[in-house]
Structure 1
């Protein structure tokens, strides 16, 4: 089922959003001061291409022992920079694509996936794209760690 939905996403406009993320990735590679954004751009490019079966998870959920105040502060500053220069137009693109996909009955699940990615587009630094199973296992392990 994931494969069918991923193909449907690609056909109904996912290729446009993926190309936009790829463009943002290439721009972040070109300018030296945006190099820290490149990994986040690439991660969300993959999510935009194949949204079903994958999920964007914050690195603190994947590795709670590796939390660092300095890294979180740097990530926040990069996210603010990202929002001003790239995030807003990628978010708008995902919202418009999602609305266009929701016009048809068959496109509603794909449109909902684009709305989820639109929220991630505003604040992507510090997110990693992992399988749904890995994300679920990380959340379960974190919940068990908190309540023991």
Structure 2
């Protein structure tokens, strides 16, 4: 079921999430200083393409807090707003609720991507 959910997800909005993370990752990777942030964006682009069967674990370290604040000011709020709007649109229909919930999960990730770990649900 996760394979089918991921295919439907990608066609019905996951592509937008994936391409957004990829574009932001490329923009951050242009500079040497932003390269670690760009690499993290590419990891989350992979999750944006196929989120079903995966969960996110957030850490509470001080270093990730500083980087998350910088990220939030330089792109995170825009990414989170995009994901939240898409989540609201999907939740307007009963069939779209699982997809909307995935977008809300990505919105939280877009606000605090550093210190987050993606793991597979078995």
Task: Report the TM-score when normalising by structure 1.
Answer: 0.75
1:119 to 102, 108, 118: 108
Question: Which residue number corresponds to residue 23 of structure 2?
Answer: 23
More divergent stretch after superposition (117-126 vs 96-105): 96-105
- Partners of 2:116 and 2:42 lie apart in 1 by 11
2:74 to 70, 77, 85: 85
* Structure 1 unpaired stretches of 5+: 61-71, 134-148
Higher helix fraction: Structure 1 or Structure 2?
1
Contact kept? 1:17, 1:48, Cα under 8 Å: yes
- Partners of 1:104 and 1:56 lie apart in 2 by 25
Displacement over 4 Å in runs of 4+: none
> Once superposed, what is the RMSD of the aligned Cα atoms?
1.6
- After superposition, what is the alpha-carbon deviation per residue over 1:92-147, rounded to whole angstroms, capped at 9, x for unaligned? 110111122223322110111111110111010122222123xxxxxxxxxxxxxx
- Partners of 1:49 and 1:56 lie apart in 2 by 15
- Partners of 1:7 and 1:100 lie apart in 2 by 19
- Partners of 1:93 and 1:29 lie apart in 2 by 21
Equivalent pairs, count: 122
Question: Which residue number corresponds to residue 33 of structure 2?
Answer: 33
* Structure 2 unpaired stretches of 5+: none
Quick check: 1:8 aligned with 2:5?
no
- Partners of 1:103 and 1:73 lie apart in 2 by 37
1:76 to 65, 86, 93: 65
